[in-house]
């Protein structure tokens, strides 16, 4: 095993990881900072895939209070209000930093102000964007800035375990597999940031990048950290549905399409959303996904078993101009987005749940910080489109500042060597002899059971069965043996590690979903269809697979109140 030391270790190079690196370096340029990432820096994760854009209250007629209220109401009153407040206020600073310091070009109005477009679930058009491929602009500029600084990189290094000190009182470092050689690497660090980006890739239809398999959340669960709101998985209404032969199926068609006035049609080519919600297609993602699920359940579907997205009534030329990237993506799969119909299906997109954390990004484990999609509490029961990249960049920067301050007085700590040995032993399991079943069959089992029993509509029977199925799947994975003992880029080994983590986090989702006996935001129970009292809202906190319900603190505004003086 190779061993390295660094002051600050950042896991992941999305918006959260790269902002943390830049801010820590700016705060203390003498620190050794290492970004370790499963893929290549600047080329992986979901921030790069951001399409629609970034929510921020910039316009004179808008306000951070209004953005805050939209976030709280959209989150069905489950948000940690201090985190949400930090999100909306610091998003203003962060977007200026992205433009003025880091060199991002966002779309502008003729008068030179930044153009902001409509996103569903918001009372004001506040989504900053670069066409419909905003994330590429953000990540390219961030990566360039990181490359230009003395920041170390461990690329194609997969974090496999958070390692504590022997007494367990703090984090000592992280164990990795160097994917290029298969060698184990232990990195000791004074502070570690978990920014591996969650990613609900355990569902049959999903949007996140393939490198994301809930590794950070699984490591946090194994380290005994509390995770909140794990039952809250967001389904995006418009996943592309292009058949089983293509991995384009499940990828997202951006929210701005519905924001701009796109229609959803059923198999009979009839618009159905107004029957479900007065906001029609511009209702929040949870409502639209559920309405679609219901329409699909009636059997009135498109050829591949989904529904249609229709934009042509807005003018094909305008659609082609405003949504160039989306039009090209659909054309690649044989659909004419500008002038025809595109088959769509709800698709698992985002996890509102994650590691519990404080507004300075500290966690229950001293020395461990969290930011971005690995963290929980910012979005409550439902994330507004455009608040995801704001979340990762805002809290990534906060974490960078906080870690730089913290490591000044911290030393490197000795790791629990027995814990390293145990983690290596766990990774080595599939190299032993065992069953030779095709790993794809395990993946399909996971996809189907999560989609059917822990998906858009849930009930007690299905959730109980899902837990039993997940336990059986975990045991089957433990009995699995790899076809090749080669370690260099052994992607089947990494798939096995991915599946182990996905199953662990899926169990947390199923257990939390069984504990929440009401319907709220993204979590819908057909056996408890009503939402409980907003005033007595509780969030789920899961630790070592035991759930407790904790009261939400209404630190800034209580249900029935608003921070807005003039409500439109
Ligand atoms: C298709 C798509 C479109 C989206 N559009 C929008 C939008 O328009 N607006 C919006 O606000 N949000 C959008 N989102 C959500 C948004 O992308 C995420 O909320 C946000 O970018 C997450 O940032 P992050 O830094 O937490 O994670 P990511 O950007 O996903 O980065 C995670 C990083 O962790 C690395 N990693 C993972 N596992 C390991 C491991 N074991 N060891 C080391 N490294 C690891 C990954 O390789 C990656 O570098 C979209 C998401 C998708 C998938």
Cβ distance 21 to 27 under 8 Å?
A: no
Cβ distance 6 to 187 under 8 Å?
A: yes
Q: Kindly give the pairing relationship between strand 368-370 and strand 183-194.
A: parallel
Quick one: which of 64, 58, 59, 18 has its CA closest to 41?
Answer: 18
Provide the 10 A C-beta neighbour count for residue 298: 10
Q: Which atom of ligand 1 is nearest to the CA of 160?
A: 41
Rounded distance, CA 23 to CA 29, Å? 10
Residue from 196, 221, 357 whose mutation best tests the ligand 1 pocket (most atoms within 8 A of CB): 196
Cβ distance 220 to 355 under 8 Å?
A: yes
39 in contact with ligand 1, CB cutoff 6 A: yes
Ligand 1 centre from 343 Cα, in Å?
A: 25
Q: Which atom of ligand 1 is nearest to the CA of 383?
A: 11
259 in contact with ligand 1, CB cutoff 6 A: no
Q: What is the pLDDT of residues 516-542, one digit of tens each?
A: 999 999 999 999 999 999 999 999 999
Q: What is the pLDDT of residues 230-271, one digit of tens each?
A: 999 999 999 999 988 888 888 889 888 998 999 999 999 999
First and final C-alpha spacing in the chain: 62
373 in contact with ligand 1, CB cutoff 6 A: yes
Ligand 1 centre from 194 Cα, in Å?
A: 12
Catalytic residues: 236, 258
Low-confidence ranges of the chain (pLDDT < 70): 566-568
Spatial CB neighbours of 533, under 8 Å, sequence gap ≥ 6: none
| Distances from the Cα of 202 to the Cα of 91, 103, 293, angstroms | 30, 36, 18
Cβ distance 60 to 113 under 8 Å?
A: no
Cβ distance 322 to 118 under 8 Å?
A: no
Quick one: which of 126, 111, 159, 128 has its CA closest to 50?
Answer: 128
Report the Cα 283 to chain-centroid distance in Å: 21
The whole-number pLDDT of residue 564 equals: 93
Spatial CB neighbours of 421, under 8 Å, sequence gap ≥ 6: none
Rounded distance, CA 443 to CA 72, Å? 35
Rounded distance, CA 120 to CA 287, Å? 11
The whole-number pLDDT of residue 567 equals: 53
Cβ distance 549 to 515 under 8 Å?
A: yes
Cβ distance 383 to 352 under 8 Å?
A: yes
The arrangement of strands across the sheet holding 341-351 comes to 233-240, 341-351, 307-310, 263-265
Q: Which atom of ligand 1 is nearest to the CA of 48?
A: 29
Report the Cα 412 to chain-centroid distance in Å: 31
Q: Which atom of ligand 1 is nearest to the CA of 374?
A: 26
The whole-number pLDDT of residue 399 equals: 98
Ligand 1 centre from 350 Cα, in Å?
A: 9
The whole-model pTM stands at 0.95
347 in contact with ligand 1, CB cutoff 6 A: no
Rounded distance, CA 123 to CA 66, Å? 8
| Distances from the Cα of 545 to the Cα of 339, 464, 515, angstroms | 49, 14, 11
Counting every residue written for the chain, the total comes to 568
Rounded distance, CA 475 to CA 470, Å? 9
The whole-number pLDDT of residue 455 equals: 97
Provide the 10 A C-beta neighbour count for residue 104: 20
The arrangement of strands across the sheet holding 227-228 comes to 354-355, 227-228, 538-543, 546-551
The whole-number pLDDT of residue 566 equals: 61
Rounded distance, CA 90 to CA 346, Å? 31
386 in contact with ligand 1, CB cutoff 6 A: yes
Query: Is residue 553 exposed (0-12), middle (13-18) or buried (19+ Cβ within 10 Å)?
Result: exposed
Task: List residues bridging with 236 in a β-sheet.
Answer: 347
Q: If phi over 0 gives left and psi between -120 and 50 gives alpha, with beta otherwise, what is residue 184? A: beta
329 in contact with ligand 1, CB cutoff 6 A: no
Cβ distance 501 to 492 under 8 Å?
A: no
Provide the 10 A C-beta neighbour count for residue 285: 26
The whole-number pLDDT of residue 429 equals: 97
372 in contact with ligand 1, CB cutoff 6 A: yes
Q: What is the largest CA-CA distance in the chain?
A: 68
């Amino acid at each position: 095993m190779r061993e390295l030391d660094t002051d600050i270790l950042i896991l992941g190079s999305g918006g959260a990881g790269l902002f943390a690196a830049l801010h820590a370096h700016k705060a203390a340029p003498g620190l050794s900072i290492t970004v370790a990432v499963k893929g290549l820096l600047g080329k992986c994760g979901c921030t790069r895939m951001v399409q629609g854009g970034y929510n921020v209250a910039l316009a004179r007629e808008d306000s951070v209070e209004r953005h805050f209220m939209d976030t709280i109401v959209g989150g069905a009153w489950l948000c940690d209000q201090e985190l949400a407040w930090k999100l909306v206020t610091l998003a203003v600073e962060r977007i200026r930093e992205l433009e003025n310091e880091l060199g991002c070009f966002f779309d502008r109005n003729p008068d030179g102000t930044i153009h902001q477009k409509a996103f569903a679930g918001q009372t004001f058009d506040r989504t900053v964007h670069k066409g419909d491929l905003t994330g590429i602009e953000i990540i390219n500029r961030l990566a360039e800035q990181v490359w230009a600084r003395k920041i170390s990189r461990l690329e194609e290094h997969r974090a496999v375990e958070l390692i504590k000190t022997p007494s367990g009182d703090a984090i000592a470092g992280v164990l990795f597999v160097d994917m290029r050689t298969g060698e184990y690497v232990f990195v000791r660090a004074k502070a570690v940031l978990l920014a591996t980006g969650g990613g609900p890739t355990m569902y049959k239809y999903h949007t996140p990048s393939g490198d994301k398999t809930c590794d950070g959340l699984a490591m946090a669960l194994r380290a005994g950290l509390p995770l909140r709101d794990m039952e809250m998985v967001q389904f995006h209404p418009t996943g592309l549905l292009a058949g089983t032969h293509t991995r384009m199926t499940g990828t997202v068609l951006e929210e701005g399409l519905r924001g701009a006035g796109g229609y959803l049609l059923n198999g009979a080519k009839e618009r159905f959303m107004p029957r479900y919600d007065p906001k029609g297609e511009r209702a929040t993602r949870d409502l639209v996904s559920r309405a679609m699920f219901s329409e699909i359940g009636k059997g009135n579907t498109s050829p591949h078993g989904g529904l249609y997205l229709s934009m042509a009534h807005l003018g094909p030329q305008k659609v082609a101009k405003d949504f160039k990237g989306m039009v090209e993506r659909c054309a690649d799969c044989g659909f004419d987005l500008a002038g025809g119909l595109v088959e769509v299906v709800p698709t698992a997109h985002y996890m509102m749940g994650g590691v519990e954390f404080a507004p300075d990004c500290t966690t229950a484990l001293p020395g461990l910080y969290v930011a971005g999609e690995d963290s929980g509490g910012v979005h409550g029961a439902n994330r507004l489109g455009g608040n995801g990249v704001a979340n990762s960049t805002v809290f990534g920067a906060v974490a960078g500042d906080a870690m730089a301050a913290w490591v000044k007085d911290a030393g490197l700590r000795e790791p629990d060597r027995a814990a390293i040995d145990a983690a290596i032993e766990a990774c080595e399991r599939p190299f032993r002899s065992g069953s030779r079943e095709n790993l794809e069959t395990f993946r399909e089992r996971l996809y189907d059971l999560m989609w059917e029993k822990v998906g858009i509509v849930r009930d007690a029977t299905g959730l109980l069965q899902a837990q039993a199925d997940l336990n059986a799947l975990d045991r089957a994975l433990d009995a699995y043996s790899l076809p090749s003992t080669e370690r260099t880029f052994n992607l089947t080994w990494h798939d096995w590690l991915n599946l182990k983590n996905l199953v662990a986090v899926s169990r947390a989702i199923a257990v939390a979903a069984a504990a929440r006996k009401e319907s709220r935001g993204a979590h819908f129970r057909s056996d408890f269809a009503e939402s409980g009292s907003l005033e007595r809202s509780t969030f789920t906190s899961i630790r070592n697979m035991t759930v407790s319900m904790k009261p939400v603190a209404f630190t800034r505004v209580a249900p029935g109140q608003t921070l807005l003086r003039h409500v439109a």
